[in-house]
Amino acid sequence: MSYCVNPSCAQPKNPNNVAVCQSCGSQLRLNKRYQPLGILGKGGFGATFGAADLSLPGNPICVVKQLRPASDDPQVYKMAKQLFEREAETLGKVGNHPQVPRLLDYFEQNKEFYLVQEYVKGYNLHQEVKKQGPFSEGGVKQFLTELLPILEYIHSQKVIHRDIKPANLIRSQNDRKLVLIDFGAVKNQVNSMVANNAQTAFTAFAVGTAGFAPPEQMAMRPVYASDIYAVGVTCVYLLTAKTPKSIGCDPETGEIAWEPYVDISNSFAKVLKKMLEVSVKHRYKSAEEVLDAMSMAPYEQGMQDSMTTMISGFKTADGSSNPNSSVTTGLMSTSPSTRTRKNHLSSFSTGINQSISTDVKGGETRAESVYNIAQQTTGHRRGYGKTTSFSNNTKTKKGKKKWQEKNLLEAYGKGRRDFAHLELNELNLAKACLPGINWYDSKLSRVNLQGAELSRADLGRADLSYAVMKNANLNEAYLGYANLSGADLRGANLCGANLTYANLQGANLCGVDLSSARITEAQLSLAKTNWRTVMPSGKRGFW
């Protein structure tokens, strides 16, 4: 079938063997080589078509994007041409990235402009959520660890995308990787668009998508942080399956009122909240800052919790609690006032955060530094005076719930998903169905998860040492920084899983499907693999 690209055509479908539309008389082949097969989408300024490239063997499928001026006004035509050339230039610049479609061709025909791009087969994230439901916290974290490096690359090319949203993020069917599409609203920081009277005719086209675009972008003053805001709104959609319009906003601040609709950890909520700051001044400025914050957030939370325990944990020499007792270290003031001690503590915590931000480079190192400092400040540092002893375990050990298999499965069945920071060692959860469960930073040593359904589970920083996970489904699970030493993962599905910095020392990965997983050769060299192991490249037995 051939498809007519004339928007006024009443019957655009045509037989395969005709060169001219039987309904309106328009030429069917574009640039004498592209045969449109059907429409993929349309808007006020054009449409997107799937097409066959008849000049190449096998007639491969490509995407043809049409930009059509909305008026016969010469100034509008000039603006359309400028937008067209800008998008072509940008795609030529950023299209070298494997997760951005390549520009194959561009041309003008009958005062209409056409871009030809690589076709990415797969579903976009809007379709994925409609089909499979909202993402878990772990699934959204995985999404961010995949998208943010793409965004970091685009910004390094001095380009602002300006239209990041679920419909513009396609999960490639070939390798399960995200692909960022539709650069029609990009802002090139080097060759900024020239303002003229016709610019208002293209404002709706160039500004992005309402609800996903921040205030400064709607005012035609986008910055790199504008893309960060759009990514944050996308995260809210993935977590809730609700658009910004259906969620609504706070009438006083203008912020999206998303928090009542999600069930996520405090540390991740803090990161998301900063991504969605209405004020650019208080928002993350770069993709790298978001990635760093995601890495540090759990440790900062742990440090604050530990310090709160520390305040209530000071004891006198006879073992009784005395909140007014002096501390013979330089950590806190000798003032008897609880408020004063808390103020000193706040300053101390702020100083730690500032010194870490200033002196330590690299996400893993930063996170470990926060953890180490927290450990030092919770009773593991020597040198306390004889008149004061310190315990940081008094409250945490008393009254802690002992989880059994039955309790956990019942809680999950009633809708609970957050089981982070728990001790669950040696539980027998074989063949349990727990998709999207949050076991972040939990103790799961020697747990039996054979044949369990754990797709999109959040197992970041979890201790899974010597866990039995044979034939478990960990599709798109988040396992960043997890300890999988000695774990038995034979035959497990880790397709699309995130194993960034996970410890795989002695792990058995024979027959594991790691296609599209985030994992390095160095990590795999520590594990046991065989010819049946599917590597991230999709090939068996070798990288």
Domain membership flag for residue 314: no
Q: Supply the pLDDT for residue 283.
A: 96
Distance CA 451, CA 382 (A): 46
Domain membership flag for residue 347: no
In a shared domain, residues 421 and 448: yes
Of 95, 118, 141, the last residue of a domain is 118
- Residue 121 main-chain phi, psi, to 5 deg: -85, 130
* pLDDT above 80: residue 184: no
Domain membership flag for residue 152: yes
Domain containing residue 442: CATH number: 2.160.20.80
In a shared domain, residues 153 and 52: no
Cα angle 125, 127, 129; round to 5: 70
Domain containing residue 280: CATH number: 1.10.510.10
Quick check: 478 and 138 in contact, CB under 8 A? yes
Q: Supply the pLDDT for residue 253.
A: 81
Angstrom distances, CA of residue 151 to CA of 180, 184, 228, 302, 478? 9, 16, 9, 29, 20
Quick check: 37 and 51 in contact, CB under 8 A? yes
Q: What percent of the chain is modeled with pLDDT above 70? A: 75
Which of 268, 285, 89, 111 lies closest to 184 in space, CA to CA? Answer: 89
Domain membership flag for residue 183: yes
Q: What percent of the chain is modeled with pLDDT above 90? A: 51
In a shared domain, residues 416 and 525: yes
Counted domains in the chain: 3
Of 242, 258, 285, the last residue of a domain is 285
Instruction: Exactly one of 163, 182, 463, 513 is catalytic; name it.
Output: 163
Torsion of CA 495, 496, 499, 505, to 10 degrees: 20
Quick check: 150 and 290 in contact, CB under 8 A? no
Model confidence pLDDT, tens digit, residues 379-437: 333 333 333 333 333 334 444 567 999 999 999 999 899 999 999 999 999 999 999 99
Residue 296 amino acid letter = M
In a shared domain, residues 141 and 171: yes
In a shared domain, residues 463 and 533: yes
Model confidence pLDDT, tens digit, residues 280-328: 999 999 999 999 888 776 655 555 555 554 444 444 444 444 444 333 3
In terms of pTM, does the model score above 0.75?
no
Domain membership flag for residue 133: yes
Domain membership flag for residue 340: no
Per DSSP, the three-state class of 541 is coil
In a shared domain, residues 136 and 269: yes
Say how many residues make up the chain. 543
* pLDDT above 80: residue 226: yes
Active site residue 305: no
In a shared domain, residues 140 and 273: yes
In a shared domain, residues 130 and 227: yes
* pLDDT above 60: residue 186: no
Residue with tokens 């039996």: 448
Domain membership flag for residue 395: no
Model confidence pLDDT, tens digit, residues 90-124: 888 888 888 999 999 999 998 889 999 999 999 99
Which of 497, 489, 494 lies closest to 528 in space, CA to CA? Answer: 489
Domain with 239, as residue range(s), is 124-285
Helix axes 363-375, 287-313, angle to 10 degrees: 10
Model confidence pLDDT, tens digit, residues 417-431: 999 999 999 999 999
Domain membership flag for residue 375: no
Distance CA 174, CA 101 (A): 14
In a shared domain, residues 141 and 67: no
Of 222, 257, 285, the last residue of a domain is 285
In a shared domain, residues 111 and 161: no
Torsion of CA 23, 26, 32, 37, to 10 degrees: -40
In a shared domain, residues 184 and 128: yes
In a shared domain, residues 148 and 113: no
Domain containing residue 64: CATH number: 3.30.200.20
Say if residue 138 is exposed, middle or buried (CB neighbours under 10 Å; 0-12, 13-18, 19+).
Answer: buried
